[in-house]
Structures are given as C-alpha cells and as structure tokens.
Amino acid sequence: MQTPPIVSPQAWEAARQALLVKEKAHTRAGDALAAERRRMPWVEVDKAYSFDTADGPKTLLELFDGRRQLIVYRAFYEPGVHGWPDRGCPGCSLVADQVAHPAHLNARDTTLVFASRATPDQIAGLKARMGWDEIPWVTITDDFDTDFGVGEWHGTNVFYRADDGRVFRTYFLNNRGDEAMGGTWAYLDITPLGRQELWEDSPEGYPQHPTYKWWRWHDSYETAPDARWAEISEAGEKAFREASAKAKAKA
C-alpha cells in the first residue's frame, strides 16, 4: 500500500487547516441542502394504510405516536431475504445498528419507525437477538412499500401530520442516501421542520429554539432542564463566538 508522505507536526497541521476550509464548505453546503428540503412541496397521503404491531393494528397516522413528524425506514426482514429467519438483510441490519437513541428525535417532535413484512412476533425476536429494542418496528400489510418507492429496495420516507389529521409525504431517499442515516442530526436534516434550532435557515413561523439548550440525556427528557447544563452550554456558546471573532479578525 502506497501511503501519503510522512511530515512534521507543523506541516501536518498546515495540511489539516487547508483541508478544513473545504470540510467547512462541505458542511455549509449540507446546511443549504437541508434548508432546501424544508422548502420542498408536499404531497397529501389520501390512501389508508394499516400496519400490524405488538399492540394491534395501527394506521399511518397512529404511527406518528402523537408527534408532528414521522420517518419510516423500509427494512428487509421477511421470507426470501438473506439471513431469514434468524437475521434481516445485512445492509438493513447495518442501518439498524447505527440508529441513535430515538428519545432525541422524539424531543424534536419526530418519530422513527422501521417497517418490514415479517410478523410482529418475528420482528420482536429479531429485535431481541440484535439489541434493537429501542427501535419501533411494524409490519407492512398492504401496498405501503410499493406506493412509496420501497417495494423492492430499502428507502426512507418522511411524513408530516397537520393539525387536522391530514398526512403529507415530504421527502424520500434511498440507495447511498440511506448510508448516512442513523444519527439524530442526519434524520432531523431530512425532516420538514429540521433541527428546529435558531441558526437554521427555515421558513418563517417554523419552530426554532436555542442550540444546545434542548439537548438532554436520553432518559431525562421528561424532567425539568438541567440548570448546570444550561450554564455550561451558555459558556460554550460564548467561547465559540469569541474564538470565531478572533479568527475573523486575524483573517
């Protein structure tokens, strides 16, 4: 294997700083794409869909679990899929392994659900074997998969629930787009409301809150905000602003 050149710490840092300029541009481009997603048109879902769950049948609207946003990943775990019945599709399983604790998405009014054609009992067994107990996982019983572009392949659909109970499809990704999924920020960036933080470029009237302030331990979202964390986050923001101002002054 032909490796890159070996250099001094000073030369390495210079190379890192040069690449950092491009990496920051890449990040800003991603922010701009997410802002465009929040302005994409929606299409109303006017067909009824039903899913089997451990708690009985549920509609698409009920999968929101009372929240505004719903992300549904079509995972292949059913007869004919490699690994059946002990395991799901290796690629879909890798995605499941990457999923962060759903409590953070829930705190942003967002529900994540995996959907397959295996039975609820089979899904429960798979989740227990693979350690995916935190991921809500339902059974597709109708044309949901074919209607939303995931009949023969994996894919992630995003939906929004209006006050009057209407449901809208707002975004879809598949192929390599699914590779980036799993993290809280990646999921929020494909939703119509985004991360809901003040720095985001969102349409007027969208919910937005101070960055860092809503972050919690995943088991403490139901409790009052941690006062010490508020102090730490405020101090951190101040330090970031000061460092940014100094960097701009030197430029």
Residue 187: alpha-carbon gap to chain centroid? 2
For 183-235, what is each residue's pLDDT tens digit? 999 999 999 999 999 999 999 999 999 888 899 999 999 888 788 887 888 88
- Whether cis (ω within 30° of 0) applies to the bond prior to 85 is yes
Tokens representing 180?
Answer: 């980036």
Give CA–CA dist 195/105, Å, rounded.
Answer: 9
Greatest extent of the chain over all pairs of C-alpha atoms, in Å? 64
pLDDT of residue 231: 83
Mind listing the domains of the chain with CATH numbers?
A: 43-188 (3.40.30.10), 210-251 (no CATH)
| Coil vs helix vs strand at 209 | strand
Give the mean pLDDT of 45-59: 97
Which pLDDT belongs to residue 248? 80
The model carries a pTM of 0.93
